[in-house]
Amino acid sequence: MSSAPSSFEYHAKPCRVLFGRGSIQKLPEEVKRLGKVKPLLLSGPRQSDRMKPLEAVLEHASITPAGTFANATMHTPIHMTEEALKYAIDTGADILVSFGGGSAVGLGKALSVRTGLKHICVPTTYAGSEMTSVLGETVDKKKTTRSDDKILPYAVIYDVDFTMTLSPAMSATSGMNAIAHAVEALYAENTNPVTDLLAQEGIKALAESLPVIVDRPDDVEARVRALYGAWLCATCLGTVGMSLHHKLCHTFGGTLGMPHSETHTIVLPHAIAYNSPNISEAQRKLAAVLPDSDGDAIKGLNVLLEKLRVKRGLKEFGMREDDIDIIADTATGNPYWNPRPIERAPLRETIRRCWAGEEARADL
């Protein structure tokens, strides 16, 4: 029998969650629950045509959207937020509804914290930003994050139907992005047994369902399980702090404009490898829920990435070898808390391996 932890803190953050196929039908009820009548719909350019079901559901309930802003951009650049803010004010919107992945959700958060408007999310990927009170914004190629309970969305509608057309490639990287949230939660400075349980269940659900989705994208059961896992992993990120993995990803994204979910996918096993000497218990918990790990968490992640057939090197997304030192300098300049002290030499080698696309290994 394992012993109970002697002490811990756990902060459960309030957010309504509506999960299941067809749950988008509950959107009007959530808008009316707050006494609102003019929702502003937010999305990225590629998602704007897919919002017609939202508009139809709202119109059927006699709710006319204030408008649609479909220019949400990766890494939430401040100039786009300012443009959307003006649009929200001009249209008289009284509530925000974001539809899409992390870009749309990030814009919704940025507007919500600036205006005080309630924010409802309808995720179409497994990214997970919708369950956190963290906002990352980019100014002059520098991405910074802040945390405030006012940033946390009011409600999240997880309708599995909206994930059915997510491509196998994007499903894989978006799902790995979600797994990264839970993995880092296992060794966070303020980790706790509740978050650990959520993390292990979320990782297990995604690690089992993502390979199925890559082979059979229309497998409804796998899609349901993946979205369930993504919600759990996102909840983990919403209750604990971030460490090296997220610091590197934020630096790659803000400085070089690297794609969000693909970067998280590439960095994850290498961040674990860097921290390996100091996170033996977290690695044990991770290995226990990864198929084919044979008790080795890093091996389990490497095998999973092979199954998902994802790109493994940031150079495949335009990162130059000369950028390695730029990222190393930026990441060491203002580091997040991390279980292993940030040392430039092993960190630079970690970054180089991410650039080159090598398999992660614990020899740093």
DSSP string, 176-236: HHHHHHHHHHHT-TT--HHHHHHHHHHHHHHHHHHHHHHH-TT-HHHHHHHHHHHHHHHHH
pLDDT at residue number 142: 82
Contact 208, 221 (CB under 8 A): no
Q: Does domain 168-356 have CATH number 1.20.1090.10?
A: yes
Predicted TM-score (pTM) of this structure:
0.91
For helices 168-186 and 260-275, give the axis angle rounded to 10 degrees: 40
pLDDT at residue number 110: 97
Q: How far apart are CA 294 and CA 122, in angstroms?
A: 37
Q: How far apart are CA 4 and CA 24, in angstroms?
A: 40
Contact 294, 268 (CB under 8 A): no
Q: How far apart are CA 135 and CA 111, in angstroms?
A: 11
| Structural element, H or E, at residue 254 | helix 244-256
Q: How far apart are CA 178 and CA 171, in angstroms?
A: 10
Contact 25, 107 (CB under 8 A): no
Contact 107, 72 (CB under 8 A): yes
pLDDT tens by residue, the chain, 364 residues: 455 566 888 777 788 999 999 999 999 999 999 999 999 999 999 887 888 899 999 999 999 999 999 999 988 999 999 999 999 999 999 999 999 998 999 999 999 999 999 999 999 999 888 998 889 898 988 888 888 889 999 999 999 999 999 999 999 999 999 999 999 999 999 999 999 999 999 999 999 999 999 999 999 999 999 999 999 999 998 888 889 999 999 999 989 999 999 999 999 999 999 999 999 999 999 999 999 999 999 999 999 999 999 999 999 999 999 999 999 999 998 888 999 999 999 999 999 999 999 999 999 9
Q: Which residues pair with 68 in a beta bridge?
A: 41
pLDDT at residue number 74: 87
Residue 22 DSSP class: T
pLDDT at residue number 147: 84
Structural domain boundaries in the chain: 16-163, 168-356
| Structural element, H or E, at residue 264 | helix 260-275
Domains 16-163 and 168-356 fall in the same CATH topology: no
pLDDT at residue number 5: 63
Q: Select from 186, 172, 267, 257 the least CA-distant residue to 222.
A: 172
16-163 has which fold? Rossmann fold (3.40.50)
Residue 181 carries which side chain, given as an amino acid letter? H
